[in-house]
Structure 1
Amino acid sequence: MKPFALPLSFNRSIIVGAVAAATLLQAPFSLAEELRIGYQRSSTLMSVLRDNNSLEEKLAEQGVTIDWYEFTSGLPMLESLNVGNIDISADVADTVPIFAQAAGADLTFYASEAASPSGQALIVLEDSDIETLEDLAGKRITVTRGAGNHYLLIAALESVGLTLDDVQVSYLPPADARAAFSQGSVDAWIAWEPFLSTSRATLETRTITDGSDGLASYKRYYLATTPYAEANPEVIATVYDALYEAGLWIKANPEEASELLSPLWGDLDPEILQNALQNRSYDVQPVTLEGLSEQQKIADAFLAADILPNAVDALDSPIWQPGE
């Protein structure tokens, strides 16, 4: 596997923890005695499993221990996955694997979360003169470059005959985007959870569109290094089952889940967090070629917008299936 480099337009986030010091020279893959998991603070299901130790307990029965590595965003997490510093990743937005595929990363999809189209939305302040997507022409809009909200912007503009050239796009990380939006430095922001529910609760906003009208499904994907997935299907199966159960638990216990996750998400008001959790499916499912169909649309849209360095066959990656 060759390391992949992020497009020059991306600034690499600092990887929290010891990942940067890990060696890139890996021993031949065999039955694992440890599992190195990459995650972000926003990795809801992995955060639940890390907090309640249920995954550790299940893997201990297989003689496997867990090392957790925290990342600040999905792109460096998948880069670290590709060079062998971690074995599996927590969820990333549907756009993120496309950049890894564009760079030839040898990664395997092992789980997905069903579509959460309401998990991101294009919002404006209440007193904005923007009423429709057509009104976005010439306006200042902020998204995070290469993220799910970037694709939603492209799809939304295309639906009314506009392109990125017809608007003024500011590429900002979520925290900076929220500050710019609240101060009126931009006219619109496509926010994702929990930033979306936080902004709706603390600012007077209106929603122009989200993905629920067919513009963007907004799925989440979980990936592993292909050699690890091939050598350790029993471990992957245990992780998959644990994620599935965590998703069921969150949907059945939103109040308890919000109390658990609040300190991990900057002491976010649990009531706001409950609203955010409602906008995500957390429905863990096997990955299928049919389910990946929107990935090709995203890849093609990013290539046309000069966001990807080269064309991608979004369906050309191994898929692990439960029962394998």
Structure 2
Amino acid sequence: MRRRPAPAALLLPLALLLAACGGNSAADTSSGGRTDGKGSFTLDVGDQKGGSEAVLRAAGELKNLDYKIKWSTFTSGPPLLEAVNAKAVDVGGVGNTPPVFAAGAGSKISVVAAWHGTSKGEAILVPKDSSLKNPEELKGKSIAVAQGSSAHYQLIASLKKAGLTLGDVKVKYLQPADALAAFTSGKVDAWAVWDPYTSQVLQAKQGRILTDGDGVVNGLSFQVAAPSALKDTKKAAAIKDYLERLRRAQDWVYTHPQAWAKVWAKDTGLPYEVALASVKRTNASRIAVAVDKPLIASEQAIADTFTGLKLIPRKVDFAGFVDTRFNDSLPPSTSTPRVFKES
């Protein structure tokens, strides 16, 4: 059967279509990228398109570095964590699900920093003219989702809240590019996805939110380091400084949403309106939080869920994959994210 192509306005840049929050991913596309800073010591940092490097540069946090940062860009979290495991990268940023799968694979990784934001961008979308009004009506319907992604867990949790299980729906495991085409051509009844895809569909008026992940999933994102780097005194000190710069940059995003949206749009190819909507809905809300016991318990619940579904081959003890040395005086991971207010 031929598939009608999605409208051009809905086709996100390739870099973002590949950059799933987890699950099956494209191959590592680390580029060896640019190098910032000065001095003989180098910190190897893994990044994703429109990620840490872009926000640090926009916020002016790459100035006065007394060490070098060598940037490597990856298509998504899983290959980035593979590089961390291989000691090719010292530290890098990912969403809440890739560390669970890396832990399940026995990778040598340590979660060293966390941010807590709203999960309003984690949504189950339905076409604008869909007859579905609430999640309970998803029973028997077809839903597209990227396998093993943060959206996959959000789908499971949202169905559970509605009294349903994955067995009650027809799950279509599709990566974002194929899921977008299936959604806009009516091949599926719903799509479980994350921002900026959520904002893209809403801005194009091609769909609406049936339910979102706020209060259902943990809304966490992480910086993950190689244990070998943490054992190196110089690298550990550089990682501490790097994390402090990231925390300040996130504060800058909250107070400068339009400026960050312009940078993000230019860096990724997103339309400015979509980038700004995503920043206001999701990105600006994030606050730096401690890597603590509630965080570990929340990630453990995700791991146990995927183990139960046999998507992770063995029991995971997530507590063995964190390092709390950089918590300082940060608020607990359960702290309420910021609410963006229009100026």
Q: Which runs of 4+ in 1 moved over 4 A?
A: 50-53
Q: Deviations over 1:104-141 (max 9, x none)?
A: 12212121111321121111012112222121111110
Residue number in structure 2 paired with 1:36: 44
Q: Give the letter for the 2:321 counterpart.
A: S
Once residues 106 and 196 of structure 1 are traced to their aligned partners in structure 2, the CA distance between those partners, rounded to angstroms, is 33
Q: Does 2:28 correspond to 1:15?
A: yes
Residue number in structure 2 paired with 1:191: 193
Residue number in structure 1 paired with 2:239: 236
Determine if contact 1:229/1:320 at 8 Å carries over to the other structure.
Answer: no
What 5-or-longer segments of structure 2 have no aligned partner?
1-22, 33-39, 329-343
Q: What TM-score, normalized to structure 1?
A: 0.85
Residue 206 of structure 1, aligned match among 205, 208, 215: 208
User: SS of the residue aligned with 1:290?
Assistant: helix
Percent identical residues:
32
Tell me by how many angstroms 1:97 deviates: 0.2
Q: Does 2:299 correspond to 1:298?
A: no
Residue number in structure 2 paired with 1:111: 113
Q: Does 2:56 correspond to 1:49?
A: yes
Residue number in structure 2 paired with 1:6: none
User: SS of the residue aligned with 1:316?
Assistant: helix
Determine if contact 1:255/1:270 at 8 Å carries over to the other structure.
Answer: no
Q: Does 2:146 correspond to 1:138?
A: no
What does 1:162-311 correspond to in 2, within 5 Å? 162-212=164-214, 214-231=215-232, 232-266=235-269, 268-278=270-280, 279-280=282-283, 281-311=285-315
Once residues 207 and 71 of structure 2 are traced to their aligned partners in structure 1, the CA distance between those partners, rounded to angstroms, is 37
Query: Which one is further off, 253-262 or 32-41?
Result: 32-41
Q: Deviations over 1:183-219 (max 9, x none)?
A: 111110112111111110103422111112x211221
Query: Which one is further off, 309-318 or 277-286?
Result: 277-286
Alpha carbons of structure 1 residues 323 and 143: separation in structure 2 relative to 1, 3 Å: closer
Tell me by how many angstroms 1:230 deviates: 2.7
Q: Give the letter for the 2:178 counterpart.
A: D
Q: Give the letter for the 2:30 counterpart.
A: G
Once residues 211 and 118 of structure 1 are traced to their aligned partners in structure 2, the CA distance between those partners, rounded to angstroms, is 6
Alpha carbons of structure 1 residues 194 and 306: separation in structure 2 relative to 1, 3 Å: same
Once residues 308 and 199 of structure 2 are traced to their aligned partners in structure 1, the CA distance between those partners, rounded to angstroms, is 31
